[in-house]
Chain A
Amino acid sequence: MSQQGKHRILMVSDFFYPNFGGVENHIYYLSQCLIKLGHKVVVMTHAYKNRSGVRYMTGGLKVYYVPWKPFLMQNTLPTFYATLPIIRTILIRERISIVHGHQAFSTLCHEALMHARTMGYKVVFTDHSLYGFADIGSIHMNKVLQFTLADVSQAICVSHTSKENTVLRSGLPPERVFVIPNAVDTAMFKPAPKRLSSDEIVIVVISRLVYRKGADLLVEVIPEVCSLHPNVRFIIGGDGPKRVRLEEMREKHSLQDRVDMLGAVPHAKVQSVLVTGHIFLNSSLTEAFCIAILEAASCGLLTVSTRVGGVPEVLPDDMIVLAEPDPTDMVMAITKAIELLPQIDPQDMHNRMKKLYSWHDVAKRTEIVYDRAFKCSNQNLLERLPRYLSCGAWAGKLFCIVMIIDFLFWSFLQLWQPDQDIEVVPDIDLTSSQTGEEM
């Protein structure tokens, strides 16, 4: 199925364009760079409002918006077996060789990986977030993750902290997990052509204003910083449930002229907001990687961030000032950053980021993971079942039953509609102006 070492990859996730976010951008940029390397990439996600069916994106990236309605936080309704027919149809008609699922919180991803394993395809999983262990939601999700990862060919995490977290949650052997960090589009995130004056220091915050992103910390930090440093101004971009608290804080301390609230900033406008500032403030309480600080560094801003999750692994020490997620510590870090500002050269920072992070590098490393996944042996159902049994006393047996039923359903589908009856899609060359077609 792969000619000259080139793969045909199916990316599956509940999170894709037209939504914007870390996972969505990751899938898009990775797919574009893999296409440039000569692979064929198809994306499968659920339908968004009336965006349903097949769409083509830049470079001939084909996206299947399968008309399953999302039921909770962008996730498709988990039906276990109902997605098997459409996934089987897509895998056969596109002649897929490897299935790559993204994000542990995506039900479509888990179902697709389960069905792909039943049908004998090689499977790779990328985990993008850190999750807990203690609350009831996390316990259930970790069990689901354990089931999916029991039989995955290879797994990818976006930072070493994330790898630890995934390995602990799922019981996957660490040697099967690769660490490939995210990257940033340095062509899009460029510093301002003219360097900003240092009379007034502008601190930029762009994030969803939710508890997880530390909006409550901001409420404590901003008034303190404003009183300590009279020449500091804040620009806050983003929206969310905590926006009200920030506005109340602004009213209480009369900071209307020193704190600008921009509301939701579309992704295309983020760069224009970042270049108006000197310092980028990230107050997340948990973060597996944090692409936002990469974008800020690429625009030449000095970053102040909470020392959580994978954040310390992202930037070199001279580009970031870390603090504990505590208001006093963060105020001290901002003070230190303001003192460091004269030594920062935005253009130099941008050039260093160009060398450190690039999506082409991520794609090449992912290609190595795909090649390694291909070398895994093909195993039939009986050889795979013991892996599920080791998931737990009761859970193991339940998972085995689920996989056996899945296998029986697949066998029934093969009798109802044999593989040869599903038409293969011809490769249409949308990128070049040649009239020849590949086949």
Chain B
Amino acid sequence: MTKSEMDTSIITKGRYTYIHDVKKGPPEVIDVHHIVVARNGAGVVKFCACAFLFAVICFLILLLLQGKPVAKVLWSFTFAAFFLKQMLRKQVEKGSVIILPAFGVQLETIYRSGRTVRHFVPIGKILKPVLNECVTPVTCYWSLSLILRGEEELLLVFKELYPPVSMLVPIWKALCAAIDNNERPEMQSDCDTRRFTPKR
């Protein structure tokens, strides 16, 4: 694809980078939004320290059991490696939203371990995309979700990511525009996207 067929805009804030690609190829314009999580230097150190601590604890627990010390050391490192792998599986490297007009929305999550999870939602199934403020006992963050017709639960667009709201807003607006275009043109737009523009 040549450069003239693609428009790209990038916003970076903290660990998160937002990339917006518009692929103008035939037959339709495809809107692609990526949110990339940078590798956290301090996080890697913390992570290795946690893994080492975990190995030490496993070793001490196994000390209580009778058996060969070499086997115990091997077992504790096996546990630590297993624990490491589980944590890597959870770590997200990139989340993408691909809007295929009049067809649907594809949600992709790429993990650091290389695993990719894809989920396609037909455009007719989406009632509305919403920006929610989620409150937990210790913090409060924004999340982008889709209200699906006939389903009780909201579908989270970015499951394990907590990107800043300034990156979620353009994706929300694009989703709203795609849903509105899908419905009859004479219907009034429900998403008043003009009222929501956060400070960058």
Q: Enumerate chain A interface residues (CB-CB to B < 8 A).
A: 52-54, 64-68, 82, 85-86, 89-90, 93, 421, 423-426, 428-429, 435, 437, 439
Contacts and interface: CB of A to CB of B under 8 A. Distances in A.
Interface of B: 14, 132-140, 142, 164-166, 192, 194-199
Given A54-B133, A437-B197, A439-B199, A86 B140 contact: yes
Given A64-B140, A89-B140, A426 B198 contact: yes
10 contacts: A54-B133, A54-B140, A64-B135, A86-B139, A423-B164, A424-B199, A426-B165, A428-B196, A437-B197, A439-B198
Contacts of A423: 142, 164-166
A439 B197 CA distance: 9
B135 A437 contact: no
Nearest to A66: B135
Contacts of A52: 135
Contacts of A425: 133
B197 A435 contact: no
Contact of B196 (A90, A424, A437): A437
Given A54-B140, A439-B197, 14 more contacts: A53-B132, A54-B132, A66-B135, A68-B137, A86-B138, A86-B139, A86-B140, A89-B138, A93-B140, A421-B14, A426-B165, A426-B199, A435-B195, A437-B195
A241 to B, nearest CB: 33
Nearest to B14: A421
B142 to A, nearest CB: 7
A93 B199 CA distance: 12
A85 B139 contact: yes
A385 B120 CA distance: 59
A68 B137 CA distance: 6
A264 to B, nearest CB: 30
Contact of B140 (A90, A429, A435): A90
User: Would you list the 7 A-B pairs with minimal beta carbon distance, nearest first?
Assistant: A426-B198, A85-B138, A54-B133, A435-B194, A53-B135, A89-B140, A89-B139
A172 to B, nearest CB: 32
A86 B164 contact: no
A65 B192 CA distance: 26
Contacts of B199: 424, 426, 439
